[in-house]
A and B are shown apart, each in its own frame.
Chain A
């Protein structure tokens, strides 16, 4: 067939327009942040080249990073970045129209330029804000209210990183569930701050940790080779990363082997022994202590996973100097004293031996929690159950675990601020009220 010059002219004019019709349906979102690299992910409705344009000012996106081939699920790693530096970026090779967003969502339209700030060099002391969401993904007005309360609280203070404590997308952790419960609820935070998730039982309905397959593992790019700090786990089901002077450890309390001889435990011990960071924060889904919508005293509850995390993993974490343990699963907020050595059921809790420091951890109250700066085994940790970012527990929640200073059956999220040798945690409810707070200082 012979084609006329007119055909080619039309084709040349139409081609960019066709490409421009590609729509971003998810993201961009940020993964596996290190001081010198960032993974940018997004999804388009049609396949196209995976390109990120970036630079040090919004007007000068002079660098590009690409992945090979064409895709609709885009994963591009930006490398050779400067630590603690703000980068501006856009995704895609051509200008595009924004995806339609439900009214009232937090996102400015994704047309245009976003930015992120790379983590500082490990060990650097830099104020760090961490947003912590447990059991968030209900797709409800409650989830949105919790989100908006945090946005109002943080204002112009950027979120440096955020943690999802599992059950991130109800009910089944499917791709659709994640789309509605995460990607359409937090688009602005997703494209400006790296998100670090843990797997929960609802996520595990559509994913398998042993085979590292399924939606959760398809959606997230996590550091299994130790590239973000800490020991290499060899899996995205559990991993570690550094941010400034803090070391974060994510455990898989649902699906991976939780035995004392298992791979996760061997990795955890090696990781704890390898870190030089001043703060150690562990996060996972199943709480060690709770009397919320789950009961950590009941062996059958969650097939003993809470028992395993308390009796097998908590002793190792405490011996390794962990400062803060963040969990979800129970749709309440519960916060402990500065504790050590309580690995049994609640009747065995002994305040005289298990509480390292009495009081509520507040400067104006019982005094901030003090820990030695030198890495000291069993110097105390605070356990926080914050599993109500999507819904609270209903009317039959007992609360009242003796290890807890405060417990609230209210929707909300936690905010952790770390500044040098001071760590502060606030629990914000869905109305924006600070329902709990405490400080921990190393000296």
Chain B
């Protein structure tokens, strides 16, 4: 039945989009396929075009045709794996991505895709291995990969260590620092969490919000004197802002709250 649906989609392909760019590119490929219907690469290209524009049914139909014509077509397994991941067919995605990596072992993008697939399948160790290898191979890994890897680590200390590796490599980016901060606090490492906030605060032109957050963290942990110091620093930071920014509704409210917290800590 599924094959029938895909065949019908394949027949209908080319009329599914109203976007002129897609129509133009599909039209070009339709002409090429009409001229050389046995060229598998053209179906792969058309499938990728549909996948790029989120028509997963037409994409799959074209990939299927490409596979019929040339099962070992370079790039086809990766394209099919990426598509299966998007459509939530994780077991299928894994098989395709295994094949893609067999075809081209250094492909970091395929490794990240397979890492995500394996994570979705709850194969934690295998996913970690793929993310680790991808991170080794990439010249400029994005924070997303470090976050995905840390999410697989159930031990907070290991997760923090993993994030620290990212921070060392790509710099002190808020997305990694904030995840590390949450892990530090949830595992009771309040001083370490406070240092994370100091690190973020030092990087910004406006530290009042971060210092307030530090005060809240210390307050939750029962470190009242330190919390008051942080709140006072936040108030000082607010006072140092230009008037137009200091007097914004949010900052006026923040100043009021900080004064209350300093005089009457929770």
Which A residues are closer than 8 A to B by beta carbons? 167, 170-171, 201-202, 204-205, 208-213, 217, 224-226, 231-237, 256-257, 262-264, 266-267, 269-271, 273-276, 278, 293-294, 300, 302-303, 331, 373-377, 391, 393-394, 396
Contacts and interface: CB of A to CB of B under 8 A. Distances in A.
Given A212-B138, A374-B244, A374-B245, 16 more contacts: A210-B145, A211-B108, A211-B112, A211-B134, A211-B142, A213-B139, A224-B140, A226-B203, A234-B166, A235-B170, A257-B144, A270-B204, A274-B203, A374-B248, A376-B249, A394-B20
B245 A393 contact: no
A224 B170 contact: yes
A249 to B, nearest CB: 14
Contact of A377 (B19, B175, B209, B250): B250
- Give the residue among B52, B174, B176, B247 with the most A Cβ atoms within 10 A: B174
A300 B109 contact: no
A300 B54 contact: yes
A263 B147 contact: yes
A276 B240 CA distance: 12
A293 B171 contact: no
Nearest to A123: B242
A374 B138 CA distance: 43
Contacts of B203: 226, 231-232, 274
A204 B108 CA distance: 16
Nearest to B244: A373
Given A211-B138, A270-B174, A276 B241 contact: yes
B140 A236 contact: yes
B204 A273 contact: yes
Interface string B192-221: 000000001001111001000000000000
Contacts of B178: 266, 270
Contacts of B170: 224, 234-235
Interface string B244-258: 110111110000000
B265 to A, nearest CB: 24
Given A270-B204, A374-B244, A376-B249, A235 B209 contact: no
Interchain residue pairs A-B with the least CB separation, the first 8: A303-B54, A234-B173, A270-B174, A263-B175, A274-B204, A374-B248, A266-B175, A375-B248
19 contacts: A170-B21, A201-B53, A204-B52, A212-B140, A213-B139, A231-B174, A232-B173, A234-B170, A273-B209, A274-B205, A275-B205, A293-B19, A294-B19, A302-B54, A303-B54, A331-B20, A374-B244, A374-B245, A377-B250
Contact of A293 (B20, B245, B249): B20
Nearest to A377: B250
B91 interface: no
Contact of B53 (A269, A302, A374): A302
B250 to A, nearest CB: 6
B142 A393 contact: no
A233 B18 CA distance: 35
Given A210-B145, A235-B142, A235-B143, A267 B247 contact: no
Contacts of B204: 231, 270, 273-274
Contact of A276 (B18, B140, B200, B205): B205
A267 B173 contact: yes
A239 to B, nearest CB: 11
A261 to B, nearest CB: 9
Contact of B171 (A201, A224, A373): A224
B54 A234 contact: no
Contacts of A375: 244-245, 248, 250-251
Interface string B144-155: 110100000000
Nearest to B49: A205
Interface of B is mostly: helix
B245 A234 contact: no
A232 B141 CA distance: 14
B125 interface: no
Contact of A171 (B25, B145, B206, B244): B25
Interface residues of B, number: 48
A318 B170 CA distance: 29
Contacts of A300: 54
Given A208-B109, A234-B176, A331-B20, A276 B242 contact: yes
A211 B173 contact: no
A163 B32 CA distance: 35
B172 interface: yes
B109 A234 contact: no
A212 B173 CA distance: 16
Given A204-B52, A210-B112, A266-B174, A377 B249 contact: yes
A278 B138 contact: no
Contacts of B206: 273-276
A280 to B, nearest CB: 12
B171 A270 contact: no
Contacts of B25: 171
Interface string B20-32: 1100110000000
Contacts of A212: 138-142
Contacts of B141: 211-212
Contacts of B143: 233-235, 263, 267
Nearest to B48: A205
B52 A270 contact: no
Interface in B223-266: 241-242, 244-245, 247-251
A226 B143 CA distance: 14
Interface in B111-156: 112, 134, 138-145, 147
A430 to B, nearest CB: 17
Given A231-B204, A275-B205, A263 B18 contact: no
Nearest to A266: B175
A256 to B, nearest CB: 7
A120 to B, nearest CB: 16
A218 to B, nearest CB: 10
Nearest to B142: A235
Contacts of B179: 266
Contacts of A264: 175
Contacts of A201: 52-53
Given A209-B142, A276-B242, A331-B20, A267 B175 contact: yes
Given A262-B144, A303-B54, A234 B205 contact: no
B239 to A, nearest CB: 14
Given A170-B21, A211-B109, A231-B204, A374 B144 contact: no
